Amino acid sequence: MDAVHELQMKINDYERKRMHYERKISRLEDDLFQRNQEIIRAKFTILQALPELNTPEKGPLVDIVRVPGYLNPKMFEAACLNNPSDGREKEPMRKDRAILDAETLCNEWRSKTSNGVWELYIEGPEEGEEEDDWVQVEAQDLLDLKEKYGDELYKAIKIAWTESQESTRTGVHLKPWDYDAGRENINRATCSTSRADPVPRYENQ
């Protein structure tokens, strides 16, 4: 019995340490995301103040990827294809179903991140604390998506939501874009920080 009790004590100690480090990692990830949010806010504020830094428009079909909060369907396809199947479907059928699921999922989250109604954070009880202790927690549907489809899609949706919020706040509807590289041109949005003239401050910052 002593050996069993000692083993149980070790298991309990391991679980306490595991939960401690998981909470610590979660806090660090939250801090990192908050810093990313600050960078995004600064970028949109600069583009609001200095619109000449932005890339000229080429047209709605070409510029779709420049829309703040844009979510790439290919990312959803990859997440759905990587999601383990129950093994009862043959591979071609599994791929077809994954592509259909990805389209539905992409449309759902595009709507949520851009409709101005869905919120990334909600009020909820702090885990392990008293019932009366309420804190901001991430929306449960986003946490469910993270558990099922992984971190990459989860993080992309958080960034998309932040960009959509900042686009609404500042009126900046397109991001600077490097068409040759096929990606956002960060330098165009940030180069003004080296100028001598300060960026004007706004009351709604």
**Range with the poorest average pLDDT among 98-112, 167-181, 186-200:** 186-200
Q: How confident is the model at residue 52 (pLDDT cuts 50, 70, 90)?
A: very high
Decide if pLDDT at 126 tops 70: no
What's the token pair of residue 177? 């874009």
- pLDDT tens readout for residues 3-14: 877 888 878 888
In Å, how far are 16, 20, 195 from 11, measured between CA atoms?
Answer: 9, 14, 58
- pLDDT tens readout for residues 174-194: 999 998 888 898 775 554 444
Tell me the average pLDDT across 123-129. 61
**Range with the poorest average pLDDT among 27-31, 40-44, 72-76, 82-86:** 82-86
pLDDT at 131 (0 to 100):
55
Question: What are the b/e assignments for 44-81, b being 16+ CB within 10 Å?
Answer: bbbbbbbeebbbeeeeeeebeebbbbbbeeebbbbbbe
**Range with the poorest average pLDDT among 63-67, 139-143, 197-201:** 197-201
Decide if pLDDT at 138 tops 70: yes
Tell me the average pLDDT across 122-131. 62
pLDDT at 9 (0 to 100):
81
pLDDT at 188 (0 to 100):
57
| Three-state DSSP class for residue 134 | strand
In Å, how far are 67, 100, 118, 122, 127 from 133, measured between CA atoms?
Answer: 39, 41, 23, 14, 9
Higher pLDDT, 64 or 83: 64
Q: Alpha-carbon distance 134 to 112, whole Å?
A: 24
Q: Alpha-carbon distance 82 to 101, whole Å?
A: 12
pLDDT at 78 (0 to 100):
95
Q: What ranges do the domains of the chain cover?
A: 2-194
**Range with the poorest average pLDDT among 65-69, 148-152, 186-190:** 186-190
State the amino acid at position 9 in one-letter form.
Answer: M
